[in-house]
Amino acid sequence: MDTLALANAVAGSTSSTGMAPPPPSSGPSSSSSSSSSSSSSSKRRPPKKAKKAVVVFFEVEILDARTKAKLCFLDKVEPNATIGEIKSMFHKSHPQWYPARQSIRLDSKGKSLKDEEVLQHLPVGTTATFYFRDLGAQISWVTVFLTEYAGPLLLYLLFYFRVPLVYAPKYDFTSSQHWVVHLACVCHSFHYLKRLLETLFVHRFSHGTMPLRNIFKNCTYYWGFAAWMAYYINHPLYTPPVYGEQQIRLALILFLFCQMGNFSIHVALRNLRPPGSKTRKIPYPTKNPFTWVFLLVSCPNYTYELGSWLGFSLMTQCLPVAAFTGVGFIQMTVWARGKHRGYRREFRGYPPLRSPILPFIL
């Protein structure tokens, strides 16, 4: 077999097996393109990072409200800082003025800002100027109330038991022959024991402290009137009311009814404010019938308080008790009017039919 025939035979055998010869190579371009695409897909660009929000810090200067002298300069104060936090910063540089005795204001003669107010929400620029006024030494409201109410309770009992040096020596530790005197002691003691327990377990105070000097004024008022009333009611020459037992019983019913009403209002007001919160809400009547007075009065706790002392005045028919009731009514009217104006200013939908303390009258 010659060479040409041998070549043809080999070609025929290859095609019969179905194996095609490899395609001619076109060079390195195909392999490089596939490798470059794979490398580009594997090396993708990382996503762009979000830009951080720029925080604009405040500069706060605090001036004396009277002399306008600069007391403190606070740099880099966060915009969401509260007035309470600013007070704490100010306290670090002036330890003698703890936060409770600080009054921070936007104007030297303006109102004090609340601790929960936020710096960036106030009408100030990035360089804020506040005015400081010293409120004086402070004392907690709980301490004030306990002192105010414990005094009348103890003083009244001294006169009731006729301890020495109160009346003539022959009356030392004697007791009255009139049952209304003993009833008056029970009612008076019940009233102030109730107040003490409410201070400890019911009341929630929006302001933690008050000026220390006020405790002397308040105690003079409560203690002085309690001693004056107790002296005459428990005096050996005391005479019962003109209309006798009927007057005493009706007065007792009024006293107890108003005491229960006063307690019910205090509980209702307490339930409006969660623990540790200073939120204010419009008080409305609840299922408790004593709270239905809210339909007509903004401060029914004062209304019931007035009714209690009117009942005590009728029960004892004593001029000092009537004087205490009158002075208390004037003071409670001032407080009720202030709270009533505050409610109407703060809440647009405040019930228009309500009066501060007496329905349709005052």
d(CA 318, CA 239): 9
| Structure tokens given for 318 | 């004593």
pLDDT at 51: 60
Residue of 295, 270, 287, 275 whose CA lies nearest to 359:
295
DSSP assignment of 62-102, as one string?
Answer: EEETTT--EEEEEEEE-TT-BHHHHHHHHHHH-TTS-GGGE
Q: Give pTM, 2 decimals.
A: 0.78
Helices 179-201 & 141-160 angle (0-180, nearest 10): 170
pLDDT at 26: 43
Find where tokens 């007070």 sit.
87
Rounded to the nearest angstrom, the gap between the alpha carbon of residue 240 and the centroid of all alpha carbons in its chain is 45
pLDDT band with cut points at 50, 70 and 90 for residue 104? very high
Q: Is the pLDDT of residue 40 over 60?
A: no
pLDDT at 29: 46
Look at 43-47, 110-114, 232-236 and tell me which has the smallest mean pLDDT: 43-47
pLDDT at 3: 42
pLDDT at 233: 98
Burial code (b: 16+ CB inside 10 Å, e: under 16) for 111-121 equals: eebebeeebee
pLDDT at 146: 95
Give strand pairing partners of 211: 138
The percent helix, strand, coil of the chain (3-state, each to 5) is: 55, 10, 35
Q: How many residues does the chain have?
A: 362
Q: Is the pLDDT of residue 20 over 90?
A: no
pLDDT at 252: 98
Strands 102-105 and 58-64, by their bridges, are unpaired
pLDDT band with cut points at 50, 70 and 90 for residue 1? very low
| Structure tokens given for 348 | 């647009």
pLDDT at 209: 87
Q: pLDDT for 259-316, tens place per residue?
A: 999 999 999 999 988 776 777 889 999 999 999 999 999 999 999 999 999 999 999 9
Q: State the average pLDDT over residues 2-6.
A: 41
Q: pLDDT for 52-94, tens place per residue?
A: 666 788 999 999 999 999 999 998 899 899 999 999 999 999 9
Rounded to the nearest angstrom, the gap between the alpha carbon of residue 272 and the centroid of all alpha carbons in its chain is 10
Q: What is the CATH number assigned to the segment(s) 58-136? A: 3.10.20.90
Q: pLDDT for 199-258, tens place per residue?
A: 999 998 877 788 898 899 999 999 999 999 999 999 999 999 999 999 999 999 999 999
pLDDT at 28: 44
Half-sphere exposure of 234 (CA within 13 A, CB side): 29
pLDDT at 45: 67
d(CA 61, CA 86): 10
pLDDT at 204: 85
pLDDT band with cut points at 50, 70 and 90 for residue 18? very low
Percent of the chain with pLDDT over 70: 85
pLDDT at 126: 87
Q: State the average pLDDT over residues 127-152.
A: 93
Find where tokens 């360089």 sit.
127
pLDDT at 208: 78
What are the residue ranges of helices labelled H in 202-318? 213-233, 244-272, 300-316
Q: Is the pLDDT of residue 98 over 80?
A: yes
339: Cβ contacts below 8 Å, ≥ 6 apart: 298, 299, 356
pLDDT at 4: 39
d(CA 322, CA 334): 19
What does the domain layout of the chain look like in residue ranges?
Answer: 58-136, 137-240, 244-362
Q: pLDDT for 157-216, tens place per residue?
A: 999 999 999 999 999 999 999 999 999 999 999 999 999 999 999 998 877 788 898 899
What average pLDDT does the chain have?
A: 87
d(CA 290, CA 292): 6
